[in-house]
């Protein structure tokens, strides 16, 4: 059977495509009931602006929906890099788009909010997997049980239904030699819905917090497996087939903070073959559940060489999905490609051009290509918060390491800048 590329799959009904990154909407979430959390309005503004990444997956004949219009300098920067930009519609809400029913919406995530909009505009099409199937797949506990039933290797862990079983699980994991544990609730992606526990004091604090706020306990406590590689696979699932689109490595610092994605992970031939086999096997189970479209699976290869193929499934597009066309293009010319996320606070009021000039100055003598593909900024009373995404393409690992160092130096400089 002929492979239908995802971009063609999304165009099968022949209507105008409207890309929509509703990244702030959840399919389901219970994390806030269990774990202490603080709302940060600046961070929420930053998250919305990550919709700029839609520009790289959309085709010129498509339309993208933005809540916030990117700076013209950012759009000109990409025109100079020969990116054919789609049409852009900028509104506060998707419902404000004129003649909405003439579009086929391709969202970041299918949600109750989006389905409610569909009820209001019945002729508007949405290409997305079934929400009930997504919820079943995103449920961390159901996914773990499904993998166990089908012979997949899973982390050492225990389901906990009360405070006593949670205490017992922690004691068991510490006795088994784990120095850290991960406490999970059923739902929550991108680090939401889990807490890393690195000592008993933190465990006792969390235990008391949960005990004071919950009557029903539904948790999973897992031992922390030291990672050699934190892998993510992108799958495209149709009615009849499962396709592996990409295998990437998440770059995580010692504090567990996400720093970027390595698009050329260091897997041996046998490791890559084993990983592919297990991921496609997991994908087939997901296909049988009725899922259709793109999704991401998080995996780990630990320091003992043990592969745990399914840690978490995100039944939606991922941010890696959006820049895959850009990555594929760079991999034709460069051996090493990775994205870097740069986050800093500064009193300086920087625009895209300011930062791009500083970036060019710092990396001028380095024989690598650096693309600034997302510029997010949120202004506050005393500081401005910035989050930038860059794609670094290099011919060898030495160049890549040097580029990382220069980017970190620039981050430090920007933090202390006044401008």
Binding residues for ATP: 174-231
188's CB contacts (< 8 A; 6+ apart) are: 29, 30, 31, 140, 194
Spacing of C-alpha 289 from chain mean position: 23
401 neighbors 416 (Cβ within 8 angstroms):
no
Pick the closest to residue 307 from 269, 343, 275 (CA basis).
275
Q: Give the residue numbers of the binding site for Mn(2+).
A: 298, 312, 314
- As a whole number of angstroms, the distance between CA 214 and CA 184 comes to 15
Q: Give the residue numbers of the binding site.
A: 174-231, 298, 312, 314
- Strand 87-90 versus strand 157-160 pairing type: unpaired
CB burial of residue 278 (10 Å; 0-12, 13-18, 19+) = buried
SS3 38: coil
- As a whole number of angstroms, the distance between CA 161 and CA 349 comes to 50
What is the DSSP code string of 66-92?
Answer: ESSPPPHHHHHHHHHTT----EEEE-S
99's CB contacts (< 8 A; 6+ apart) are: none
**E strand or H helix that includes residue 370:** strand 369-379
Q: Which residues pair with 300 in a beta bridge?
A: 230, 308
Q: Give the residue numbers of the binding site for Mg(2+).
A: 298, 312, 314
347 neighbors 385 (Cβ within 8 angstroms):
no
- As a whole number of angstroms, the distance between CA 390 and CA 340 comes to 5
Measured over the CA atoms of residue 133, residue 134, residue 135 and residue 139, the dihedral's sign is: positive
30 neighbors 185 (Cβ within 8 angstroms):
yes
195 neighbors 182 (Cβ within 8 angstroms):
yes
309 neighbors 351 (Cβ within 8 angstroms):
no
43 sits in the region (left: phi over 0; alpha: psi -120 to 50; else beta) called alpha
The neighbour count for residue 403, using CB atoms within 10 Å, is 24
List helix spans (H) across 244-390. 269-288, 319-331, 352-363
């Amino acid at each position: 059977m002929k492979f239908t590329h995802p971009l063609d799959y999304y165009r099968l009904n022949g209507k105008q495509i409207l890309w929509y990154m509703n990244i702030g909407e959840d399919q389901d979430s219970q994390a806030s009931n269990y774990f202490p959390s603080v709302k940060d309005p600046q961070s929420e503004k930053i998250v919305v602006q990550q919709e700029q990444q839609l520009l790289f997956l959309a085709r010129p004949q498509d339309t993208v929906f933005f809540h916030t219009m990117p700076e013209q300098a950012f759009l000109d920067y990409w025109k100079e890099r020969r990116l054919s930009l789609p049409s852009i519609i900028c509104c506060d809400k998707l419902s404000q788009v004129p003649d909405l029913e003439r579009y086929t919406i391709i969202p970041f995530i299918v949600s109750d909010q989006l389905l409610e909009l569909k009820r209001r505009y019945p002729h508007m099409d949405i290409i997305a997997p079934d929400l009930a199937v997504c919820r079943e797949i995103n449920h961390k506990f159901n996914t773990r049980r499904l993998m166990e039933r089908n012979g997949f290797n899973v982390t050492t862990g225990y389901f906990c239904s009360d405070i006593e079983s949670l205490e017992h699980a922690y004691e068991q994991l510490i006795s088994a030699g784990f120095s850290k544990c991960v406490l999970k609730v059923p739902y929550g992606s991108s680090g939401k819905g889990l807490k890393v526990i690195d000592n008993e004091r933190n465990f006792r604090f969390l235990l008391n917090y949960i005990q004071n706020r919950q009557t029903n306990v539904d948790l999973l406590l897992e031992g922390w497996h030291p990672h050699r590689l934190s892998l993510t696979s992108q799958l495209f699932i149709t009615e009849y087939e499962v396709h592996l689109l990409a295998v990437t490595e998440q770059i995580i610092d010692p504090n567990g903070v996400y720093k970027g994605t390595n698009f050329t992970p260091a897997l041996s031939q046998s490791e890559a073959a084993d990983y592919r086999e297990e991921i496609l096997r997991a994908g087939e189970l997901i296909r049988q559940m009725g899922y259709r479209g793109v999704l991401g699976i998080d995996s780990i290869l630990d320091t003992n060489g043990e592969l745990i193929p399914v840690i978490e499934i995100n039944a939606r597009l991922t941010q890696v999905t959006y820049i895959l066309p850009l990555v594929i293009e760079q991999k034709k010319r460069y051996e090493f490609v990775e994205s870097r996320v740069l986050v800093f606070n500064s009193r300086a009021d920087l625009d895209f051009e300011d930062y791009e000039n500083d970036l060019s100055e710092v990396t001028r003598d380095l024989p690598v290509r650096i693309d600034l593909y997302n510029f997010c900024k949120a202004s506050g009373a005393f500081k401005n918060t910035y989050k930038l995404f860059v794609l670094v393409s290099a011919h060898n690992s030495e160049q890549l390491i040097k580029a990382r160092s220069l980017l970190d130096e620039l981050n430090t400089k920007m933090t202390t800048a006044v401008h």
